[in-house]
Amino acid sequence: MAVRIRDRRTPILAALMLTMALVAMDTTIVTTAIPQITNDLGGFSLVGWVFSVYLLAQTVTIPVYGKLSDLYGRKPVLVVGVLVFLAGSALSAAAWDMLALVLFRALQGLGAGSIGATVNTVAGDLYEVSERGRIQGFLSSVWGISAVVAPAIGGLFAEYLTWRWIFLVNLPIGAVSLTLIVSQLHERVERKAHRIDYTGAALLLLGPGLLILGLLQGGTKWPWLSLPSLLVFGGAVAATVSAVFVERRAVEPIMPIWLWSRKLTGFSYLATIGSGLLVIGVSEFLPTWAQAVLGLSPVPAGFVLAVMSMFWPAASALSARLYLRIGFRDTALIGAAFTVCAGAVFSLTTADSGVWQPLLGSALMGTGMGLLTSALIVGLQSTVGWTQRGVITSGTMFSRFLGQSLGAAIFGAVMNIVLLRRLRSAPADVSERVPHNVDGISQALTGDRLSGRASAYLTDAFQSASHAVFLGLLAGGVVTLLVLLAVPRRFPTVQQEADNAGA
For the chain, report the end-to-end CA distance as a whole number of angstroms.
18
- Tell me which amino acid residue 132 is: R
Largest CA distance in the chain: 76
Residue 222 three-state SS: strand
- Tell me which amino acid residue 452 is: G
CB 90 within 8 A of CB 64: no
Lowest mean pLDDT among 37-46, 95-104, 260-269: 37-46
Is the pLDDT at 496 greater than 50? The verdict is no
Does one domain contain both 349 and 451? Answer: yes
Nearest Cα to Cα of residue 301 among 315, 279, 283:
283
Residue after which a domain boundary falls, among 145, 173, 194: 194
Does one domain contain both 36 and 70? Answer: yes
Residue 501 lies in a domain: no
Does one domain contain both 183 and 277? Answer: no
Is the pLDDT at 1 greater than 50? The verdict is no
Strand partners, 218: 222
Running DSSP on this structure, what letter comes out for residue 285?
A: H
Q: Which residues contact 234 (CB under 8 A, 6 or more apart)?
A: none
CA 3 to chain CA centroid, nearest Å = 30
Is the pLDDT at 502 greater than 50? The verdict is no
Running DSSP on this structure, what letter comes out for residue 244?
A: H
Residue 500 lies in a domain: no
Does one domain contain both 175 and 116? Answer: yes
pLDDT bin (cut points 50, 70, 90) of residue 500 is very low
What are the tens digits of pLDDT across the range 203-249?
888 888 888 788 777 776 778 788 888 898 999 899 889 988 888 88
Does one domain contain both 60 and 185? Answer: yes
Residue after which a domain boundary falls, among 167, 194, 221: 194
pLDDT bin (cut points 50, 70, 90) of residue 45 is low
Does one domain contain both 7 and 132? Answer: yes
- Quick one: average pLDDT of 462-474? 89
Residue 475 lies in a domain: yes
Instruction: Report how far residue 92's alpha carbon sits from residue 98's, in angstroms, rounded to the nearest whole number.
Output: 10
Q: Which residues contact 259 (CB under 8 A, 6 or more apart)?
A: 265, 266, 269, 391, 392, 395
What are the tens digits of pLDDT across the range 260-315?
888 999 999 999 999 999 988 888 788 778 877 787 776 677 777 778 888 888 89
**Residue of higher predicted confidence among 467 and 150:** 467
> CATH no. for residue 81?
1.20.1250.20
Provide φ and ψ at 222, rounded to 5°. -150, 155
Instruction: Report how far residue 121's alpha carbon sits from residue 398's, in angstroms, rounded to the nearest whole number.
Output: 13
- Tell me which amino acid residue 168 is: L
Give the count of domains, the chain.
3
Does one domain contain both 177 and 217? Answer: no
Does one domain contain both 103 and 219? Answer: no
What are the tens digits of pLDDT across the range 130-181?
888 888 888 888 877 777 777 777 777 777 778 888 888 899 999 999 999 8
Residue 46 lies in a domain: yes
What are the tens digits of pLDDT across the range 370-422?
999 999 998 998 888 878 888 888 889 889 888 888 888 788 888 878 887 87
Instruction: Report how far residue 168's alpha carbon sits from residue 188's, in angstroms, rounded to the nearest whole number.
Output: 34
Instruction: Report how far residue 396's alpha carbon sits from residue 266's, in angstroms, rounded to the nearest whole number.
Output: 10
Does one domain contain both 283 and 413? Answer: yes
CB 382 within 8 A of CB 493: yes
CB 88 within 8 A of CB 100: no
Does one domain contain both 202 and 288? Answer: no
Q: Which helix (H) or strand (E) holds 394?
A: helix 386-424
Does one domain contain both 55 and 136? Answer: yes
Q: Which residues contact 101 (CB under 8 A, 6 or more apart)?
A: 37, 41, 50, 92, 95
- Domain containing 152 equals 1-194
pLDDT bin (cut points 50, 70, 90) of residue 59 is confident
pLDDT bin (cut points 50, 70, 90) of residue 2 is very low
Does one domain contain both 205 and 329? Answer: no
- Quick one: average pLDDT of 15-25? 87
Residue 502 lies in a domain: no
Residue 220 lies in a domain: yes
